[in-house]
Amino acid sequence: MVKMKDVAELAGVSSAAVSRYLNGGYISADKAARIKQAIELTGYVRSSQARALRTGSTKLIGVIVPKINSESVSRITAGIGQVLGHRGYQMLLANTDNAPDRELEYLDLFQNHPVDGIVLVATMITDEHRAAIASCHVPIVLIGQNVEGAACVYHDDFEAAFELGHALAGRVDGKIAYIGVTEEDRAAGYDRRRGFEAGLGAAGVVLDPELIRRGSFTLDSGYRASRELLGEVPDVSFIACATDTMAAGALRAIDEVRGMGEGIHRVSGFGDNAFLRALTGGIPTVHYGYLTSGVEATNMLLNTLDGVEGESGLKTLKLGHQLMNV
């Protein structure tokens, strides 16, 4: 592998000159030309490892996600990747498979090590998480949760759920059920459930605690919870779910129990999944700018890292949402 010294010798300069040429330091025009030629001739590329050791910067951003094969996460990731690519960084992806302790593990691994910054697509935030985030040696931005004391890019799940609940209250007659997710996930669990209840409440509809069930983000869990619900409470009229994926499961359950095509007007979700939209013509749901959240979070992070002027660095950013099909 050709190294800087080789290039320097070929160009008849010192390796310091080559380094300066590469990094934009003082260099005379003729030497610059000779170096340029020497680099092209040898096909030299500088060792990012040596550079990293010397400068302490790797141009790598650690991205921690709970699950890669999910529409929302992969959209967020697409947004992150877009920005990183544009700005000369690369993405080190860590998938925790929904295990919050693996999040901590990666947080630990990353901060000591090879990354310049971290984007955490967050689900459950425990005290341990807060501690880990606070003691992080590199800048970190969270996506999806609003955590005090950390830079966050998030959506207002309470408000969105409120609006959805309020809108649905007027349109649905009969019993409304809600299938949520773990409330340890503040945004998708707690806020959505509470917001939805509050929204219904504001329209004078009470959500019967008996009709609140719990799933786990998967289509299958939405399906199972719905079957159970329909079995126990046959006259349920509408099933609201905490995610579109779960809503797809609910849809399937209703179709099975009540006949094909029955489910479409009897479920709602969150996330505005493209597949679901196309196949059903659109159930009531909330559109979040997932890609945008990835973009915004990453820009914020890189602005601090690159010391971009005019940008106030890490802060908390609430993105908007949009009610669909209500």
| Residue 25 binds which of DNA, its own copies, none (CB < 5-8 A, kind-dependent) | DNA
Helix extents (H) in the chain: 4-11, 15-23, 29-42, 48-55, 71-86, 100-112, 127-134, 157-171, 192-202, 219-232, 244-258, 274-280, 290-306
Residue 206 site contact among DNA, its own copies, none (CB < 5 to 8 Å, cut-off depends on kind): none
> In this structure, what token pair is assigned to residue 207?
């959500």
Name which of its own copies, DNA, none residue 170 binds, using a CB cut-off of 5 to 8 Å depending on partner kind.
none
Distance CA 271, CA 317 (A): 19
The three-state secondary structure class of 63 is strand
Strands 175-180 and 236-241: parallel
- 46: CB partners within 8 A, 6+ apart: 4, 22
Q: Judged by CB under 7 A, does residue 230 bind DNA?
A: no
Closest listed residue to residue 283, CA positions, set 241, 234, 255, 233: 241
Quote the least distance from Cβ 100 to its own copies, whole Å: 15
Cα 231 to chain centroid, rounded: 35
Q: Which is nearer to DNA, 53 or 260 (CB)?
A: 53
Q: Which residues bind its own copies (CB under 8 A)?
A: 1, 45, 47-50, 52-53, 56, 58, 60, 63, 67-71, 74-75, 77-78, 81-82, 85, 90-95, 97, 112-114, 219, 223, 245, 248-249, 251-252, 255, 260-261, 273-276, 278-281
Stretch near DNA under the rule CB under 7 A, chosen from 12-20, 132-140, 167-175, 211-219: 12-20
Q: Which of these segments, 21-29, 130-138, 145-153, 189-197, binds DNA (CB under 7 A)?
A: 21-29
To the nearest whole angstrom, how small is the minimum distance from the Cβ of residue 138 to DNA?
15
Q: Which of 267, 270, 269 is CA-nearest to residue 258?
A: 267
Binding residues (CB under 7 A) for DNA: these are 1, 3-5, 12-20, 22-23, 25-31, 44, 46-47, 50-51, 53-55
